[in-house]
Each structure stands twice: as C-alpha cells, then as structure tokens.
C-alpha cells in the first residue's frame, strides 16, 4: 500500500543533500504511486509552495 501520493503537475521536489530540484510537468498516472524521486540515496522532499495569489 503506497503511503506517498503521486506527484502532481506543478509539484516541486528537492534533494536536501545536494539541492537538486525537480519540477513535475506531467503527473504520474500510475495507480500504485510508482513514481520514486530519489537523489543521494534518499527520497526527495516535496517542497511545492502554496499557490501564490498576489503576483
């Protein structure tokens, strides 16, 4: 049973070790949450910022 939700379009993931960042431009549609974003041997952190209303 997957515990992580699948990456959504617009999500940002960061490696806390080296600073590598990934911006999701296409969501993973797999039902089992198969997308694994790993860097430096650790899961990447979802650092998606809340949607900015006042631009």
In the complex, minimum distance from the CB of residue 1 to Zn ion, in angstroms, rounded to a whole number = 27
Q: Which stretch binds Zn ion (CB under 5 A): 8-16, 21-29, 30-38, 47-55?
A: 8-16
Q: Is 18 in the site for Zn ion (CB under 5 A)?
A: yes
Residues 6+ apart with CB under 8 A from 38: 44
Q: Is 17 in the site for Zn ion (CB under 5 A)?
A: yes
Q: Which stretch binds Zn ion (CB under 5 A): 2-10, 11-19, 25-33, 47-55?
A: 11-19
């Amino acid at each position: 049973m997957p515990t992580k939700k699948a990456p959504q379009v617009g999500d940002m993931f960061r490696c806390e070790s080296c600073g590598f960042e990934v911006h999701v431009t296409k969501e993973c549609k797999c039902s089992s949450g198969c997308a694994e974003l790993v860097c430096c041997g650790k899961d990447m952190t979802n650092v998606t910022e809340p949607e900015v209303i006042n631009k």
